[in-house]
Structure 1
């Protein structure tokens, strides 16, 4: 009987050990990431001799790495291409660190990713043209970086997006009309870039949108009449652009808005005087949730 109990205990322990393991390629990818972001100087470091499931900010589910949450952990360096090996990753939160360099091309291989938060870093270069392949994304937040280039048309393929914030970067070009495909989008922030041209009429398709922040760009033309379709909108900030007319806003009931800012001819507001941070939309929304 004792031998049977002993055997069962060994079996359970072995099973737990196997369950806690991840494929070797995933462990190697994590170690490369650790080295590339100066892991030895992190606030919370990893003990590479311990199982991956014990590493700070790493969640393992069904034998695979499913989450990496290293919010404000003093990451310095770059994200290596090997990040793309974490094929079952669902959450990647590297916000409020000092990561520099360009986004790795293999980032788009993370087809199961639902949340990608890279805000408040020093990332440069352009957004991947193949960004639209990450179709399960629900939150894409990259404000306050040094991103350049244009917003890829393929972003319209991210039909599950609820939050998109690319504010306070160096993006240029037009706002792609494909954004109109993001019918579940609740929050859109493109504030303080170098975007130009007219606001696409397809924005009127975003009927779930509650927050639209396009201030401090070079946008022009007339405000689309389709703005009247945004019945859920509660925050609208489009000031400090080059619009020709705000006539379409006259049909909107200002009383339902928490914030309703545009360059009124009779009361032009200075966006820099508004009492909130440059990254108001996402900063205040997410920081308290992760800074524990």
Structure 2
């Protein structure tokens, strides 16, 4: 019997800083370029994939760990005719930064980021897979799971710090492109035309689209959709009705919201809202 093609999501209200996804048969999974607000780590359980992150192409396969900083635009899709299974975990960057500071791994309390995109150390891979398995069972209490998470990430980032020191994220230069990005974040539910937004900031629309994509690896329109989906994910976790979320997020109807959501999350809103029952 083939494994389920539906993703499984694990969340715990006592551990709101972490979310885990398990895909056991992802041969039909496709992702549009997207980003997450959280720091992310994934383990390839089976198959081969092309992982694109910030315009860099990586070939990943069973035994690889994949790391992504918050807001990095990426997409990871299986190679043709390849099996495809993985774990993907999203961690709140502020929780992670506090953990690393309190553990003495870093010397600053703010999030600094990780510089490696893939990790090939077998022990770190195996430990992460075991961590995911332990989170998705009822063998451990929430407090014990927090300890397991903390222990693993101290181990991982201690290794990363030895291989390639963590770096403090460079402050974004104060130019209009970042003002446009901030405007899109604040007004993501509005359907202003790119032409109108371009005029607001003194750009031609063709220049804005070209320059914005060069800086952010997304067009302004894709950036705005991505932000809507991020907020939609938050609303789904809070139990809000899908139809209501679709309307408040500025989509024309529920079908439109579901289509865009699945392109970026590789799951339907209903699948994403459901969590593993232990």
* TM-score > 0.5 by shorter chain: no
The interval holding the TM-score normalised by the smaller chain is: under 0.3
Q: Which structure's relative contact order is higher, taking Cα pairs within 8 Å and 6+ residues apart?
A: 2
Q: Which has the larger radius of gyration?
A: 1
Higher helix share: 2
